[in-house]
Amino acid sequence: MPSPRSPASTTRERLIETAERLFAVNGIAAVSLREIAAAAGQRNTSAVHYYFGDKQELVRAIFEYRMRDINALRMEMLKRIADGGPQDDLRVLLEALVFPLAANILEGSHYARFFSQLAADPVHRREFLHFGWEEADGLNAVWDGITARLSGLPEAVLRNRLRMLRTLVIMTAGDMEQRGATAEAGTPQPWAVDLVDAAEGMLTAPSRDAEAPPGRADRPVS
């Protein structure tokens, strides 16, 4: 089993990890930058402004801080697929979506619950539904692959199911982290396998071509 996350080594990292924890527990809107600085042991209550500028940039910094490891795992999985795996298999892409996130749910982690809070936040979530930075290239590739393999669905149904997929993954991961689930090195957690099963079943269920309200099929954040 992996060891707990190592302590933050810099003031900036301490602020990021403290903000992640407070946002995960209390919600993004309910936590002030001054509270984060104080909880991180900073005498200067403007420390967050100094390092990040505002709350939106702090939220972005949390993503960048955690997404590097998650993205690296996704890129490894995508490379294995490209090197001879079943490239047209929806399931392997869903595994590449779910398993790297699940592998980072460790003892004392708060990242999945932070995601859940962000997904429900009407102010801060919009910017992070569409990634454009290097740490998310694996996520973008997986999401595009899933979308392409569902191209036979009516457009409105496709939009709805991609939204459902995003919600299913984020909220389930947050719930499992809250329940104390932890990852084991090299072994997908049973709940993560179950989540892939559920996602595959939902995405491939027969469609009745029902009309759906207009909107975009936003990318997930994970």
Three-class HEC string of the chain: CCCCCCCCCCHHHHHHHHHHHHHHHHCCCCCCHHHHHHHCCCCCCCHHHHHHCCHHHHHHHHHHHHHHHHHHHHHHHHHHHHCCCCCCCHHHHHHHHHHHHHCCCCCCCCHHHHHHHHHCCCCCCHHHHCCCCHHHHHHHHHHHHHHHHCCCCCHHHHHHHHHHHHHHHHHHHHHHHHCCCCCECCECCHHHHHHHHHHHHHHHCCCCCCCCCCCCCCCCCC
Supply the pLDDT for residue 2: 36
Question: pLDDT tens, position by position, for the chain (222 residues)?
Answer: 333 455 557 999 999 999 999 999 999 999 999 999 999 999 988 999 999 999 999 999 998 999 899 999 999 999 988 887 665 689 999 999 999 999 989 888 999 999 999 988 888 777 666 666 677 889 989 999 999 999 899 999 999 999 999 999 999 999 999 999 887 777 788 999 999 999 999 999 998 764 444 444 555 555
pLDDT at residue 1, rounded to an integer: 33
pLDDT at 16: 97
pLDDT at residue 188 in the model = 83
pTM of the model: 0.84
How much is the pLDDT for 4? 44
Q: What is the pLDDT of residue 184?
A: 76
